[in-house]
Chain A
Amino acid sequence: MGTVLEDVTSETIDAEHIKRRVDDWARRVKDLYATIGGWLPDGWRTCEGEPILMQEELMRKFGVERIEIPTLMLLGQGDDAARLEPRGLWIIGGNGRIDLKRDGRRYLIVDMSENFEAPDWQVAPAERRCDREAVTEDWLRRVLR
Chain B
Amino acid sequence: MSDLGAIAALYQQVDNYLEGLRDRYDAASETEDRDSVARQQRLNEQAYFVLAWGQFEARISDACRDAIRRGHQEWRYRRADDVDILDYHGWQGGGCMFNQYAGATERRV
Contacts and interface: CB of A to CB of B under 8 A. Distances in A.
Chain A: interface size category = under 10
A53 B19 contact: no
Contact of B38 (A50, A87, A92, A126): A87
A92 B45 contact: yes
A84 to B, nearest CB: 14
A92 B12 contact: no
Contacts of B46: 92
Interface string A45-81: 0000010010000000000000000000000000000
Contact of A127 (B12, B29, B38, B49): B12
Interface in A116-134: 126-127
B56 to A, nearest CB: 14
Contacts of A126: 12, 15-16, 19
Interface string B31-51: 100010010001001100100
Interface of A: 50, 53, 87-88, 91-92, 106, 126-127
Q: Which 6 A-B pairs have the closest CB atoms?
A: A92-B49, A127-B12, A53-B35, A88-B42, A92-B45, A106-B19
